[in-house]
Structure formats: structure tokens, C-alpha cells
Amino acid sequence: MLKDMFSRPENAKMYWKEFMHQCSEIGIGSLGIVIIISIFMGAVSTLQTAYQLVSPFIPISTIAQIVRDTVILEFAPTLVCIVLAGVVGSKIASELGNMRVSEQIDALEIMGINTKTYLVLPKIVAALVVIPMLVVISAVLGCLGGRFAGTMSGIISGSTFDKGLLQYFQPFNVFFAIIKAYTFAFIISSIPAYYGYYVKGGALEIGRASTKSVVVSCVMILFADYVLAALLL
């Protein structure tokens, strides 16, 4: 499927329009859930880290460091992408599945359009563009959520948290998170596209394909997460 995706577009303007539409669907469509998850993720991390740091010899700003690194290294890319696999993945699979079952893909083929290029490629490219952005937003919001929870509960002051955020900061961690985001974005978009595009049957099969694509995407994300951590860290 991936090989067949690369062909000369019939009308570049239409492909661009479809790409922008997918960017909006994947990016703007998932922004709400990403914001909510990220803020709570950061907040809970702060509270739980503070709960575990009982030793008086560890400075309180360490909480911010731990929250920052956990959010950047794991929570923002992995957790958010697992959620996105559910949100975006099921949408892609069911959309393509419905198009296949209702012969809309056949209708496009008859018109002389390469459906893999027109329907699948913009989704994958849009995911590759938008999901890393969402991961960056998530990381920032995670840290802000942690700061907010820390100050609200009186565990750590805002200035101490900010100081902790800047201590021992390794830019490579951000680079690692972005690499993860690109890898997961490809998984999130290509696996559901495959399951949706090749669905056979009716409504029941669309549901099955959607569920299966989410499960496979999640497993692949976790597997890729381990491989990337083992290779790059």
C-alpha cells in the first residue's frame, strides 16, 4: 500500500486541499483531548512525585525536574500518542472503511484517481506534521499542569518549580521526544489506513477493523517506544 501511494497527483491543488483538511481534522480535532490529558498528566505527576519524595535531603525543586523529564520523555509522546491512536486511528479506519463499503473508493478509482495517493497519503503526511506539534504542546501543558497542581496544593512554590524546570535540562530529551512523535505518528496513521482501506463486508466489519487497528497501533507504539529507548538512550 505504501509503495502505491507515491504517484503523480492528478491535481496538486486538490491534494493540498485534502492535506489541509486532514491537518485540521487530526490536529484541531484532537487538540481538546490533548489539552485535557496533558494538564492532568502533569498535575498528577507532581502530586505523586511529591508523595514519593519523603527524604528531607532531596531538594523540593527535584519534583519539577522529575515531572519535566517524565512528561517530555514518556508521557507527552507515548501516552498522548496512545490516546491519539484511539481518537485519530479509529476515525481514519472507520472513514476509509465506510468509503470502501459504500463503494466511494471504487467511485474514485473509476474517475481515474489513485485512491491510495488521494485518501491515504494526505492522512499520513498530515499526521506526521501535526502529531509532533501536539506532542510539543502536550509537553508544555504537562509542565504547566504540574506547576499549577504544585502551587495549588502548596507542595511547591511557582518560583521553585520554575527553577527546577531549568535545572539539568538536556535538550536531547526534546529531540528524543520528537523522534518518538514522528515514529508514533506514522504508526497511528498508516496502520488504521491499512485496516480501513482493505475492509471487506459491512458495518460490523468496519467496527472490527477500527477496533483492530487501534489495538495493533497501541501495541506497535509500545514496541516502538521500547526499541527507540533502547537504541537512543
Partner 1 sequence: MKFLAKVLSRYVAARSSKYFFSLRLCGVARNQIRSKSWSMIEIKNIRKSFGDNVIINDVSAVMQSGKCNLIIGTSGSGKTVLMKCMVGLFEPDSGEILYGGKSFTDMDKEDRKMLRQQIGMLFQGSALFDSMSVEQNIMFPLDMFTTKTYGEKLKRVDEVLDRVNLNDVNKKHPAELSGGMKKRVGIARAIVLNPKYLFCDEPNSGLDPQTSLLIDKLIKEITEEYSITTIVNTHDMNSVMETGDHIIYMYQGIKEWEGNNKEIIFSKNEKLNKFIFASEFLQDAKDMRMLEAKGKIDNNRNMDELLK
- Residues of the shown chain interacting with partner 1 in the complex, contacts defined by CB under 8 A: 7, 10-11, 14, 98, 102-104, 106-107, 109-114
Instruction: Tell me whether residue 7 or residue 153 sits nearer to partner 1 (CB atom).
Output: 7
Q: Nearest approach, Cβ of 213 to partner 1 (angstroms)?
A: 20
Tell which residue, 145, 160, 116, 181, has the closest CA to residue 46: 145
Instruction: Tell me whether residue 25 or residue 162 sits nearer to partner 1 (CB atom).
Output: 25
Instruction: Tell me whether residue 1 or residue 10 sits nearer to partner 1 (CB atom).
Output: 10
Q: What angle do CA 33, 39, 41 make, to 5 degrees?
A: 95
Instruction: Tell me whether residue 10 or residue 175 sits nearer to partner 1 (CB atom).
Output: 10
Q: Nearest approach, Cβ of 69 to partner 1 (angstroms)?
A: 42
Q: Nearest approach, Cβ of 111 to partner 1 (angstroms)?
A: 6
Q: Nearest approach, Cβ of 29 to partner 1 (angstroms)?
A: 14
Residue 209: CB atoms within 10 A of its CB come to 26
Residues 72 and 37: their CA atoms lie apart, in Å, by 14
Q: Nearest approach, Cβ of 209 to partner 1 (angstroms)?
A: 18
C-alpha cell at 166: 531549568
Instruction: Tell me whether residue 50 or residue 126 sits nearer to partner 1 (CB atom).
Output: 126
